[in-house]
Amino acid sequence: MGRIVRQDKMKWIGLFLLTLLLIICMLASLMLGNTNFTLTDIYKTLTSSNSKDVAHIIIWQERFPRMVIAVVTGASLAVAGVISQLLTRNPLGSPSVLGINSGSIFVIVVCVVLFKVSDLHILVYFSLLGALLAAFLVYLLGSLGRSSTSAIKLILAGIAANAMFVSFTQIILLMNQKGMSDVLFWMAGTISGRTLDMILAVLPYLLVSLVVTCFLGRSMNIYASGESIAKGLGQNVFVMKVTLLILMVVLAGGSLAVIGNVGFVGLIIPHLAKAIVGNGYPWLTPYSILLGSIFLLIADLSTRLIHPPAEIPLGVITAFIGAPFFIYVAFKGGRARE
């Protein structure tokens, strides 16, 4: 794949410019909505302690948590997509391909509909448990047979696990239609109504996973060269594969636990980052972190501004952008193989 930036000096400049853009998007997320604020209003609110002021309530209790959640989950979903495409060696790879999304949603539906769990903070952990369950099942299925676990076996196992979890979820909802409204926002995906406590519950895991992935850049480059070459270079392929799988599960599952089924972020962002800096993972990961945060901030801002005062589910916005991109990548990949 071609890349725009080739020299390391320019890549550092690119990171700096993306950081500035991220800060602008964060300020826009605080300023814009049904009620607009100026930079002066933001500064006064952030430096004052008047909890009864309307601006203080809107910014601190609603928009600031949304901004933080969008930044963290956007970065996490983007890096989860980078890892997924590396594990599956497929440009269309994403956590949803490996059944992570459907596994997480399935456990949430079971908890809400069958066991009447309503505490969002508790559901965060059950969602992460569902992601771990899906990953374990996919790796188990991918390990069956005489040959070792391969990228194509992981993809097939992910498709099978995804179909199974989706089917079980639909059966539960059909048998308990009254509970459908309680899980609808999880299935559609949204940041609205989420609190800082929810992201704080998984924030340490997400931040550690992001940092570890950044430090694994060179090892990921070796793994990307092919398992046989990686083994020849002394890499423990099994440990590397399991490590990447765990990181992807934590990043994707932790994000889905907070914002629900928001797709296509992990598909779109890695391709945008590769178009800028190429396939080198030491640069690809930090670029994906910034681009993922920027993308989800803009998407969340769009949910508020397209049809105020009503809000469009975040998952709808990302799907609207991601579906054409998915078709483009699939078509481009098919043309490349001809």
In tens, the pLDDT along 306-331 reads 888 878 888 888 888 888 887 877 77
Non-local (6+) Cβ contacts of 303 within 8 A are 190, 191, 192, 311, 312, 313, 314, 317
Tell whether the model's pLDDT for residue 336 goes beyond 70: no
Cβ burial of 274 (10 Å; 0-12, 13-18, 19+) is buried
Tell whether the model's pLDDT for residue 334 goes beyond 50: no
Tell whether the model's pLDDT for residue 137 goes beyond 50: yes
State what percent of residues in the chain have pLDDT above 70. Answer: 93
Tell whether the model's pLDDT for residue 1 goes beyond 70: no
Tell whether the model's pLDDT for residue 231 goes beyond 80: yes
Measured in degrees and rounded to the nearest 5, phi and psi for residue 96 equal -65, -30
The vertex-293 CA angle with 292 and 298, nearest 5°, equals 100
What confidence tens digit (pLDDT) does each residue in 252-277 have?
Answer: 989 988 898 888 899 899 999 999 99
- The reply to whether the predicted model has a pTM over 0.75 is yes
- What pLDDT does 192 receive? 84
Q: Average pLDDT, stretch 87-101?
A: 84
Tell whether the model's pLDDT for residue 337 goes beyond 50: no
State what percent of residues in the chain have pLDDT above 90. Answer: 38
- What pLDDT does 64 receive? 93
Using 50, 70 and 90 to split pLDDT, how confident is the model at 147? low
- What pLDDT does 291 receive? 97
Using 50, 70 and 90 to split pLDDT, how confident is the model at 338? very low
Please count the other Cβ atoms lying within 10 Å of the Cβ belonging to residue 329: 16
Non-local (6+) Cβ contacts of 52 within 8 A are none
Judge contact between 194 and 66, C-beta under 8 A. yes
Tell whether the model's pLDDT for residue 249 goes beyond 60: yes
